Chains A and B, each alone.
Chain A
C-alpha cells in the first residue's frame, strides 16, 4: 500500500473505527421505543383506555426487571380517536418519523385491519391483542399475530354445555354487523357439529329497540337454547322483552354484554341465570394473574381491569418474550419465535397457526347467580356449578 492510497483511506478507516465503537454504549442507553395508536377518545374510548392500561402495566413490569435486551422500554402512544384512517396515519408516523423499534396493535378489529397494511409494508411485527375477526389473519399477512379467541368461538361453551345436557334445539339471533354476525355463524357451525337442530336463525339491524316480532317467532319455535350475538344495549333490550313476552328457553346466552357488571346493575334479578361469554375473568387461575392484578390495582387505584386490559398486558408480554427469545428486534427472527412459541400468561394460553391465527386461547362462560358472575365453563376453570335449567320468568 502506497502512502498516497493510505492517505486516501485514512479518514475512512478512522470513521470506521469511530462508527464501530460508538453505537454499542449508545444502544445500551437509549430505550427501546414501542409505538401504538389507541382509541383514547371516540366510540371505542372505554375499551381502548382499558387496553392502554394493560400496555402500561406490562411496560412497568418489564422495566422493573431491567428491560429487555439490556435496554429500558418506552411506550409511544397516540390517540386515533377510534378512526381507522387516523390510525393508519399514526402508524406511518410512528414507523417513519418517530422511528420506533417495534409496534403493538390498536383497539378493535376494524382499526387493526386498517393498520395491518402499514405494518406489513414496513415489515414490522404487530401483536394485535384486540383483533377478534378471523379474516384479518387470512389475507396472507406475515407479521400480524392474534391473541384473543376469534368471534366464531364466543358461544362454543354454551353449545357444549347444552349438548352435554341433552338439549336438542337452538335459536340463534344476532345484530347485523361484522362481529355479532361472525359469532352467530360460528355458533351455527358448533351446534350442527354437536347434532343440535337450529330451529331459527335471524339477524336484526343495529340500533333495533323493539324485538317483539322476533321474540314472538322464537317463542313459537320453542328452542331449548337461545344464543344471541349481541353488543350491549341489544342484550339488555332482548332480556327485558323476553320477560315481557314470557319467552322461556332452558338456556339463554349472549356474546358481549352478558359478561359486564353493568348488565346486572341494569337488569338486577332479571339478569339471573343468563349466560355471558368472556375472554378473561379475574378469578381464573392463570399464571401471573395475582401479580398482574396487584400491579394493576397499585397503578390504577379504585379501578377494575377488564379483559381488554388483560389482553393488552398479555399481548405486550408475548411480543417482548419473543424478542427475548430471539435475542434481537429483527422482525423475521421475532416472527419465527412468535410462530413457534407456546406460553401461558395471566390472560391464558397463546399459540398461533402459521398465519398468526390464535388457536389456544379459550373463552369462558359465565352465569349470573345471585348477582355474581360465576365461571361455569370450561370444567377445569369453573368456580361454580351452572344453574340448569333456567326456570320460567314467573318462577325467578
Chain B
C-alpha cells in the first residue's frame, strides 16, 4: 500500500507546511505577547479567533465585504473585545497564581463558545471566496493559503516593527522584561496591559479572518488553534517574540512532513514529541530570553 515519495511531493508538502506555519506564527504571537507581558495563559485565544472568523463571515454574507478587507474591521473589533475583557476580568488575575488565570480564561472561553452557539447556532458556515491554486512548475500554490500566508507575514512583521521601534511597543517590551522597573520609569502598566490584551486578541482575530476562507466556520473551531498556539510559544521560547515565528513555521513543517512520511494520524503526536524533546534539551524553548 506504500506510496513512493518523490522529491516533488516533499517540495509540495514543505510549501504547504510553511504556508500553514506562517499563520500559526501570527496567531501564536498574540498568545505569546499576552503571556510575556502579564504571565497570563489565555485559553480563550482560540475562541477570540473564532469571533474574528464570524466577523468576516457576517460582513461577507450581509454586505458582500471582501474577506481580506474585513481584517480592517475584525482586528479593531476584537482589539476592543480584548480591552474590555482585560479591563473587567483578566486584570483581576494578573498577579494571582497561574491556576487562577487559567481558570478565568477557561471560563471566558466556554462563555464565548456558548454565546456563539446561541447567537449563530452550531451550523457550519463558510466564506466561498478564493478557491483553487496557482501552478508553479510541479507545485500547486493554494490561493487562499498563499493569501493567508502573505497577510500573516505582513501583520507579523508589522507587529515586530511596532514592538521594536515605536514608543508604545518599547513600553510593552519594558513591562514584559520588568514590570517594577517600567513602572519606576513612568510607564502606566495598567494601560500597557489593556493594550497588550487588545493586540493579542486582534492577532487572533486576524487569524480567524484568514482561515475563514479556508475551513468551515463553527463555534468550536478555535480550540484547535489554542493548543497549536501553546505548542508554538513553548517551542519558540515563551516570551520570546521571534521565537513564535520560528515555532510556528516549525510546527507547520513538522505536521505536514509527519503526515507525508508517517501518517496524518500521528502528525499531532509528532508535534508533541518534538515539544518534549525541545523541553528536555532546551527547557527555555528554542530561542532564549525575553525580547
| Residues of chain A having any CB pair with chain B under 8 Å | 43, 45-46, 173, 176, 198-205, 207-214, 216-217, 220-221, 232-233, 236-237, 240-241, 243-246, 262, 266-268, 270, 393
Contact sample, A vs B, 21 pairs, CB 8 Å cutoff: A46-B121, A199-B1, A204-B259, A204-B264, A205-B268, A207-B224, A208-B267, A210-B256, A213-B16, A213-B259, A213-B264, A216-B13, A232-B216, A236-B124, A240-B214, A243-B131, A244-B133, A244-B143, A244-B144, A246-B133, A266-B124
Q: Please name all residues of chain B whose beta carbon is closer than 8 Å to the beta carbon of A267 when the two chains form the complex.
A: 126, 128
Task: Assess the A213–B13 pair: CB atoms within 8 A.
Answer: yes
Complex alpha-carbon distance, A236 and B144, angstroms: 14
Complex alpha-carbon distance, A166 and B268, angstroms: 38
Q: Please name all residues of chain B whose beta carbon is closer than 8 Å to the beta carbon of A208 when the two chains form the complex.
A: 264, 267
Complex alpha-carbon distance, A45 and B218, angstroms: 14
Q: Taking A201-B1, A212-B256, A216-B13 as contacts, is the C-beta distance between A236 and B133 under 8 angstroms?
A: no
Q: Taking A198-B1, A220-B9 as contacts, is the C-beta distance between A233 and B133 under 8 angstroms?
A: no
Interface positions of B from 242 to 282, Cβ below 8 Å from A = 255-260, 263-265, 267-268
Q: Which residue of B lies closest to A236 (CB)?
A: B216
Task: Assess the A210–B16 pair: CB atoms within 8 A.
Answer: yes
Q: Please name all residues of chain A whose beta carbon is closer than 8 Å to the beta carbon of B224 when the two chains form the complex.
A: 207, 209
Closest chain-A Cβ to B2's Cβ sits at a distance in Å of 9
Closest chain-A Cβ to B104's Cβ sits at a distance in Å of 23
Closest chain-A Cβ to B20's Cβ sits at a distance in Å of 5
Is B183 an interface residue when CB atoms closer than 8 A count as contact? no
Complex alpha-carbon distance, A204 and B3, angstroms: 17
Top 4 A-B residue pairs of the complex, sorted by shortest distance between their CB atoms = A213-B259, A212-B16, A204-B264, A233-B216
Q: Which residue of A lies closest to B216 (CB)?
A: A233
Task: Assess the A393–B218 pair: CB atoms within 8 A.
Answer: no
Q: Please name all residues of chain B whose beta carbon is closer than 8 Å to the beta carbon of A205 when the two chains form the complex.
A: 264-265, 267-268
Complex alpha-carbon distance, A45 and B117, angstroms: 10
Interface positions of B from 92 to 129, Cβ below 8 Å from A = 121-126, 128
Task: Assess the B256–A243 pair: CB atoms within 8 A.
Answer: no
Is B4 an interface residue when CB atoms closer than 8 A count as contact? yes
Q: Taking A203-B263, A270-B131 as contacts, is the C-beta distance between A210 and B255 under 8 angstroms?
A: yes
Is B147 an interface residue when CB atoms closer than 8 A count as contact? no
Q: Which residue of A lies closest to B13 (CB)?
A: A213
Q: Which of A221, A233, A393 contacts B215 (CB 8 A)?
A: A233
The total of Cβ contacts below 8 Å across the A-B interface reads 123
Q: Which residue of B lies closest to A235 (CB)?
A: B216
Interface positions of B from 116 to 172, Cβ below 8 Å from A = 121-126, 128, 131-133, 135, 140, 142-145
Complex alpha-carbon distance, A201 and B2, angstroms: 10
Q: Taking A205-B264, A246-B140, A266-B128 as contacts, is the C-beta distance between A236 and B259 under 8 angstroms?
A: no
Is B178 an interface residue when CB atoms closer than 8 A count as contact? no
| Residues of chain B having any CB pair with chain A under 8 Å | 1, 3-6, 9, 12-13, 16-17, 20, 121-126, 128, 131-133, 135, 140, 142-145, 211, 214-216, 218, 221, 223-224, 255-260, 263-265, 267-268
Task: Assess the B132–A46 pair: CB atoms within 8 A.
Answer: no
Task: Assess the B265–A209 pair: CB atoms within 8 A.
Answer: no
Q: Taking A217-B9, A240-B131, A244-B132 as contacts, is the C-beta distance between A266 and B216 under 8 angstroms?
A: yes
Complex alpha-carbon distance, A209 and B216, angstroms: 9
Q: Which residue of B lies closest to A234 (CB)?
A: B216
Task: Assess the A202–B264 pair: CB atoms within 8 A.
Answer: yes
Q: Please name all residues of chain B whose beta carbon is closer than 8 Å to the beta carbon of A176 when the two chains form the complex.
A: 265
Q: Please name all residues of chain B whose beta carbon is closer than 8 Å to the beta carbon of A221 when the two chains form the complex.
A: 3
Q: Which of B13, B20, B121, B215 contacts A237 (CB 8 A)?
A: B215
Task: Assess the B4–A236 pair: CB atoms within 8 A.
Answer: no
Q: Taking A201-B1, A220-B9, A262-B124 as contacts, is the C-beta distance between A209 and B140 under 8 angstroms?
A: no
Task: Assess the A393–B132 pair: CB atoms within 8 A.
Answer: yes
Task: Assess the B1–A212 pair: CB atoms within 8 A.
Answer: no
Q: Taking A221-B3, A244-B145 as contacts, is the C-beta distance between A212 and B13 under 8 angstroms?
A: yes
Q: Taking A176-B265, A266-B126 as contacts, is the C-beta distance between A220 and B133 under 8 angstroms?
A: no
Task: Assess the B265–A204 pair: CB atoms within 8 A.
Answer: yes
Closest chain-A Cβ to B274's Cβ sits at a distance in Å of 16
Complex alpha-carbon distance, A216 and B9, angstroms: 6
Task: Assess the A212–B12 pair: CB atoms within 8 A.
Answer: yes
Q: Please name all residues of chain A whose beta carbon is closer than 8 Å to the beta carbon of B131 when the two chains form the complex.
A: 240, 243-244, 270
Q: Please name all residues of chain A whose beta carbon is closer than 8 Å to the beta carbon of B257 when the two chains form the complex.
A: 213
Task: Assess the A216–B260 pair: CB atoms within 8 A.
Answer: yes
Q: Please name all residues of chain A whose beta carbon is closer than 8 Å to the beta carbon of B258 when the two chains form the complex.
A: 213
Task: Select the residue from A198, A208, A244, A246 with max chain B CB neighbours within 10 A.
Answer: A244
Task: Assess the A220–B263 pair: CB atoms within 8 A.
Answer: no
Q: Please name all residues of chain A whose beta carbon is closer than 8 Å to the beta carbon of B3 when the two chains form the complex.
A: 199-200, 217, 220-221
Q: Please name all residues of chain B whose beta carbon is closer than 8 Å to the beta carbon of A212 when the two chains form the complex.
A: 12-13, 16-17, 20, 142, 256, 259
Complex alpha-carbon distance, A240 and B145, angstroms: 11
Q: Taking A200-B1, A220-B9, A244-B133 as contacts, is the C-beta distance between A209 and B264 under 8 angstroms?
A: no
New contact pairs (20) apart from A220-B5, A237-B215, A266-B128, CB-CB < 8 Å: A45-B122, A46-B121, A46-B123, A173-B264, A199-B3, A201-B1, A203-B264, A204-B259, A207-B224, A209-B211, A212-B16, A212-B20, A213-B16, A213-B258, A221-B3, A237-B214, A243-B132, A245-B140, A245-B142, A270-B131
Task: Assess the A245–B1 pair: CB atoms within 8 A.
Answer: no
Q: Which residue of A lies closest to B16 (CB)?
A: A212
Task: Assess the B12–A216 pair: CB atoms within 8 A.
Answer: yes
Closest chain-B Cβ to A271's Cβ sits at a distance in Å of 10
Q: Please name all residues of chain B whose beta carbon is closer than 8 Å to the beta carbon of A209 when the two chains form the complex.
A: 211, 214-215, 224
Q: Please name all residues of chain B whose beta carbon is closer than 8 Å to the beta carbon of A244 when the two chains form the complex.
A: 131-133, 140, 142-145
Q: Please name all residues of chain B whose beta carbon is closer than 8 Å to the beta carbon of A46 when the two chains form the complex.
A: 121-123
Q: Which residue of A lies closest to B267 (CB)?
A: A205
Closest chain-B Cβ to A199's Cβ sits at a distance in Å of 7
Task: Assess the B260–A213 pair: CB atoms within 8 A.
Answer: yes
Q: Taking A232-B124, A240-B131, A244-B133 as contacts, is the C-beta distance between A211 and B264 under 8 angstroms?
A: yes
Q: Which residue of A lies closest to B268 (CB)?
A: A205
Q: Taking A201-B1, A216-B9, A268-B128 as contacts, is the C-beta distance between A237 and B216 under 8 angstroms?
A: yes
Closest chain-A Cβ to B180's Cβ sits at a distance in Å of 41
